[in-house]
Amino acid sequence: MSIDPEIDPIESEDDLFEHYNFIVDKGQQLLRIDKYLLLKIANSSRSKIQTGIEAGAVKVNDQLIKSNYKVKPFDEISVSFSTPPRDNEVIPENLPLNIVYEDSDLIIINKEPGMVVHPAHGNWTGTLVNGLLYYCQNLPGNNNIRPGLVHRIDKDTSGLLVIAKTEFAITYLAKQFFDHTIERTYYAILWGVPKVEKGTLRGNITRHPKDRKIMHMLPEDSEDGKLAITHYEVIESFGFCSFVKFNLETGRTHQIRAHAQSMGHPLVSDSSYGGDKIRFMSTRTNFKQFVDNMFKVCPRQALHAYSLGFDHPTTNERMQFESQFPEDFDNLLNKLRKFTND
């Protein structure tokens, strides 16, 4: 069975790195931690381990350490690294990239809707990663299918992505995603208006038992799935639709899309979660015609990754980036405002 690129197992932003926990055996002799971890972690290298230690991705007994630290019996070691290489060749392609910022450590890209972020089974060309490899040949992890990637967004979601240009940067940024210190704001257009204008959505998210291409929300105390936390605020109400801001605390697969559906307010035009048909009615006589036009104006889920905030890998300066709405999203929003006010 092939794997849809939109449901690649590593799609969750929080899964774009490894996480290990070790408790040192009682008979372990003193040994430098970089050498110890080299023996413990497959597909790794001493330079990658040392870079991870420098970036704060390795702790012993919940304390940051240096590469020359010597492990001793019963030490508790936690590790967060960027993902290991995979043996798949990705061909560089000269593709248009909307680069909004770049320095020696990272690139900020405003991704257009319709572009897949990284290659996967059945989808090896035309992705953002193919374009990145043409533009920047020395991204960390050039021998895998996700060089430079710290997180991702869905094919039909537009907006900002941060790309790491060095091994230190990818580890440093991945650690911020793991610690949930990255600020991510999305804007969406939903069917209907949530009864509570501002709140937090919590629950475990997992693959839907009947449709593996979509996600399914479960109670937070469920034994299945991973905890997903989303904060939301209704910015503007149109009665049958609403303009809503989302802030991600975790970065699970389809998190906003699944959380919106769980509220009974799927994203407009989100065919996977029931947003491609009328979900809330209006008394206007030309309503159905207007909805058909909505779907033509924005034929993909109405979701945009608007802003990113994080600490710079080298300067530690807090970086903040915002992006304009793409044309289809902006046109849909303006049409809703005009239809409501006429």
Active site residues: 154
CB 298 within 8 A of CB 328: yes
d(CA 314, CA 172): 9
- Return all residues near 246 (Cβ < 8 A) that are at least 6 apart: 185, 186, 187, 188, 230, 231, 232, 256
CA proximity to 112, closest of 304, 290, 243: 304
Report how far Cα 319 is from the mean position of its chain's Cα atoms.
Answer: 18
d(CA 155, CA 272): 13
CB 78 within 8 A of CB 70: no
* Distances 100 to 143, 162, 178, 218, 289 between C-alpha atoms, Å: 26, 10, 25, 37, 37
